[in-house]
Amino acid sequence: MSWNGGGITVRKTLPGDRPALVAIIENSENLSREEMDCASELLDIYFKNPLETDYLFLTAVDPSSSPAGYACYGKRPLTDAVYDLYWIVVDSRRRRGGIGTRLIEELEKLLREEGARMLVAETSGLPAYEAARRLYLRSGFCEEARIREFYKPGDDIVFYTKRLQKSNGDA
Amino acid sequence: MSWNGGGITVRKTLPGDRPALVAIIENSENLSREEMDCASELLDIYFKNPLETDYLFLTAVDPSSSPAGYACYGKRPLTDAVYDLYWIVVDSRRRRGGIGTRLIEELEKLLREEGARMLVAETSGLPAYEAARRLYLRSGFCEEARIREFYKPGDDIVFYTKRLQKSNGDA
């Protein structure tokens, strides 16, 4: 039976999620070795001291309580209530199941409660990242800025932003 | 006698520079308390283990070997040879003396030798940061991207970039 993506719950990432999330990272064929190592390293920084780190995590779990993906985010230092969405990683066997959308929805809900003003996601402009860019646009982000050839020659960084509150000027 | 800015030497930051650099940070009237704390914290991360940190430092010293300012920079993870110029802080009594320009010149020289491809500096779009923006433009950076209202409402982040090598396409 194929899995249809329904019944996804999003909650804080717990230490018991580690093996499943590391497996999801290692099976992401669109991540380079360096990106996989960086993603796992951030996870371990979080598990070491979840209250003190700049990197926070949410896990999406399926109806059998099995992790299906995660979001890594954090408050951007020196800003007024801007949060970075560092990574969204979804189990490669369960893509197109709405897991990324659910992770962003729950993250936004949580951040709005904390008074966040803006969410920023950085991604690559390469074709391999088109699914990520479409996810951001579908979730109400705008492409706001771009630095050409940033990651490597021919590979731009694209900044997607979503305003979570009215700015003072609109109030 | 007023100091005319000549004879500036730029070298790696040494532990003995700490008191002078912290004093320069604390006397920078255009930095907020939070920015001062962040700048000092990065300096201490560097002094703890200058070989392992992501934050590297150069000090500009005047003819009497007294520190007159510094640059904090580092390799940007997950990029091909892109470096961030995190901070340039110049002694507030010795502004307009070409110290910022000298720091950027020496940093570029060092980074070109290491094969760096691009240098990125982020700064605020507020009038208080006009001197920094003029310094980047004068040093050959371009304003490449901007996220509106990033630092706080009314305060954009502006990305300045300088290409240090010909890209593959130009070769």
Model-wide pTM > 0.80? yes
3-class secondary-structure state, position A37: helix
The pLDDT value given to residue B171: 40
Is residue A4 a part of any domain in this protein? no
Residue percentage of chain A with pLDDT more than 70: 94
Point out the residue among B35, B147, B151 whose CB comes nearest to the CB of A144. Answer: B147
Contacts of B152 in chain A (CB under 8 A): 79-80
Cα–Cα distance for residue pair B96/B101, rounded to 1 Å: 10
Is residue B164 a part of any domain in this protein? yes
* Distances A69 to A132, B87, B116, B128 between C-alpha atoms, Å: 14, 36, 35, 43
The pLDDT value given to residue A5: 54
Q: Which residue of B has its CA nearest to A123?
A: B78
Q: Are strands A67-75 and B118-124 parallel, antiparallel or unpaired?
A: unpaired
Residue A34, chain B, CB below 8 Å: the answer is: yes
Q: Which of residues 66-105 of A touch B (CB under 8 A)?
A: 77-80, 82
Question: What would the mean pLDDT of B134-154 be, rounded to a whole number?
Answer: 97
Question: What would the mean pLDDT of B110-133 be, rounded to a whole number?
Answer: 95
H or E stretch at A39: helix A33-48
Is residue B3 a part of any domain in this protein? no
Q: Are B68 and B102 in contact (CB under 8 A)?
A: no
Q: Which of residues 42-61 of B touch A (CB under 8 A)?
A: none
- How many distinct structural domains can be found in chain A? 1
Cα–Cα distance for residue pair B101/B121, rounded to 1 Å: 14
pLDDT tens digits, A2-48: 444 578 999 999 999 999 999 999 999 888 999 999 999 999 999 99
The pLDDT value given to residue B166: 57
Q: What are phi and psi of A143, to 5 degrees?
A: -75, 115
The pLDDT value given to residue A95: 84
| Per-residue confidence band for B140, with pLDDT thresholds at 50, 70 and 90 | very high
Question: What would the mean pLDDT of A135-152 be, rounded to a whole number?
Answer: 97
Of B162 and B169, the one with more pLDDT? B162
| Per-residue confidence band for A89, with pLDDT thresholds at 50, 70 and 90 | very high
Residue whose C-alpha is closest to residue A165's, from B149, B30, B47: B149
Whole domain around residue A107: which residue ranges? 9-170
Residue whose C-alpha is closest to residue A122's, from A79, A156, A90, A97: A156
Point out the residue among A79, A148, A152 whose CB comes nearest to the CB of B150. Answer: A79
Sequence-distant (6+) residues with CB within 8 A of A54 are: A74, A75, A77
Question: What would the mean pLDDT of B116-138 be, rounded to a whole number?
Answer: 95
Cα–Cα distance for residue pair B90/B122, rounded to 1 Å: 17
Residue percentage of chain B with pLDDT more than 90: 84
| CATH number of the domain bearing residue A103 | 3.40.630.30
Instruction: State whether B144 and A149 contact (CB < 8 Å).
Output: no
Instruction: State whether B150 and A34 contact (CB < 8 Å).
Output: no
Is residue A1 a part of any domain in this protein? no
Is residue B118 a part of any domain in this protein? yes
pLDDT tens digits, A115-124: 999 999 999 9
Residue percentage of chain B with pLDDT more than 70: 94
pLDDT tens digits, A126-141: 998 999 999 999 999 9
H or E stretch at A25: helix A18-26
Of B97 and A137, the one with more pLDDT? A137
Contacts of B79 in chain A (CB under 8 A): 150-152
* Cβ count near A22 (within 10 Å): 15
pLDDT tens digits, A45-87: 999 998 888 999 999 999 999 999 999 999 999 999 999 999 9
Is residue A139 a part of any domain in this protein? yes
Question: What would the mean pLDDT of B103-124 be, rounded to a whole number?
Answer: 97
| Per-residue confidence band for B2, with pLDDT thresholds at 50, 70 and 90 | very low
The pLDDT value given to residue A53: 85
Instruction: State whether B35 and A78 contact (CB < 8 Å).
Output: yes
The pLDDT value given to residue A167: 47
Cα–Cα distance for residue pair B120/B142, rounded to 1 Å: 10
| Per-residue confidence band for B95, with pLDDT thresholds at 50, 70 and 90 | confident
Q: Which amino acid is at B158?
A: V
Cα–Cα distance for residue pair A29/A131, rounded to 1 Å: 13
Instruction: State whether B78 and A35 contact (CB < 8 Å).
Output: yes
The pLDDT value given to residue A55: 95
Is residue B47 a part of any domain in this protein? yes
* Distances A86 to A1, B106, B155 between C-alpha atoms, Å: 33, 32, 22
**Assigned token pair, B119:** 């240098």
